Amino acid sequence: MLDVGYWMLDVGHKINPESKIQNPKSNIQNPKSFMEPYIEIKNLVKHYGDIKAVDGLSMKVMPGDIYGFLGPNGSGKSTTIRMLLSLIRPTSGQILIFGHDLAVDRYQTLSRVGALIEKPDFYNYLTARKNLDILGKLSKVQNLPARIDEVLAMVGLLGRAHSIVRTFSLGMKQRLGIAQALLHNPDLIILDEPTNGLDPQGQKEIRDLVKTLSQERNITVMISSHVLYEIEQIANRMIIIDKGKALVEGNVHDLINGEDRQVTYIVDNPEALRQMITGTPWEAKFQKSSPDRVWFKITKDEIPVLTAFFIEKGVKIFAVEPVRSLEDFFLQLTENETAN
């Protein structure tokens, strides 16, 4: 009924900091992998004096991905993104975007990339439309007035096109930031912590917008965040970095499902439940019990299987609480890295 070995195989790969990222499984599973990556970073390094902000980072973003770029504050996410957009010069390493070397062919690559880096800043004394007009002219957007209307409508700001940006809330500025990133019809957009400072409703709106862009407009998205729940909600692939180094890269689903998490079952009779699992594969997964609870260490996909098993055996289940989250996973990885 349950092949634990299979689930354990299907996880992302821990990365040796000294080696390049390897994910041979994704090459087999994902047909997109045969295409040229939209972003390919090779052994990227950035030093600020003695400080290594980015330390030999390598990664690939494939066409169609919503690629989560995760790491705690100060892990090198923004520095990497700024290097991807040629705002910062790498100390060493190579960045290929759409197969072109960014250091050699900056204009051609940037004309196909939209970006929103950290907080959305605009010419506050100008209207939303005028800001987009300036940026559209710089990107040589054809039929600009109509395109401005289109992107403003896409982010729900058409009614505020003629408002001075200074009067916008942070959420509106964030949406305008996405509008400017979409203005020149890019194939790839890079969003650096786009939900920072937004309320839950604003965060959901941005997540929904990113999903829509990916699904309906076939735009590849690279999105950085330290809010791990956010990446879990929208990304299909992700990388976790810390201290400028990659810790793990892989399919979000595989990474989350492949790792065990602690799940609490609140039941009527924990002692009877313990006896039920004796001699089954679940016995190995049992952790501890209390007068009204039992704890197991299982994968996400095992939760419904185990729950169904208990129901079949007539156990009264009042609640199932998975404790394991991507955040725990992330913390575990960063702690391991620190310990190493």
Partner 1 sequence: MRQLINIELFKIFTKPRTYIGFGAIFVIIVAIQVGIKIKGDEMVGMIIETLSDKFIFEGKLINMYSVGYIILNTLWIHVPILVALVTGDLLAGEANSGTYRILLTRPISRVKLIISKFIAGWVYTTMLIIFMILLSVVVGGILFGTGDLLVMTTKVSILSSDDLVWRFLAAYSYGLLCMTTVAAMSYLLSAMSDNSIGPIVGTIALIIGITVISTVGKSLLEPVLPYFFTTYLTSWQKFFDTEFTMNMISHDILIQFIYIFGFFFITLFYFRKKDILS
Which positions touch partner 1 (CB under 8 A)? 82, 85-89, 106-108, 110-111, 113, 115, 117-119, 121-126, 134-135, 137-140, 177, 180
Burial 269-308 (b: 16+ CB within 10 A, else e): ebeebeebbeeeebeebbeebeeebbbbebbbebbeebee
Question: Taking a C-beta distance cutoff of 8 angstroms, is the pair 178, 116 a contact?
Answer: yes
- Residues 153, 30: Cα–Cα separation, whole Å: 34
Separation between Cα atoms, residue 202 and residue 196, nearest integer Å: 10
Helices (H), 15-76: 24-29
CA angle 105, 109, 110 (to 5 degrees): 115
CA distance 242 to 264: 30
**Amino acid type, 101:** D
Q: What is the DSSP letter of 63?
A: T
CA dist list (Å): 42 to 19, 57, 79, 273, 319? 11, 7, 15, 52, 47
Amino acid at 197: G
Residue 232's φ and ψ, nearest 5 degrees, are -60, -35
Residue type, 217: R
127: closest CA among 179, 87, 196, 85? 179
Query: How far is residue 157's CA from residue 174's CA, in Å, rounded to a whole number?
Result: 11
Spatial contact of 179 and 213, defined as CB atoms under 8 Å apart: no
DSSP string for 153-169: HHTT-GGGTTSBGGG--
Q: How far is the CB of 227 from partner 1 (least distance, A)?
A: 21
**Token pair of 31 as six digits:** 């047909």
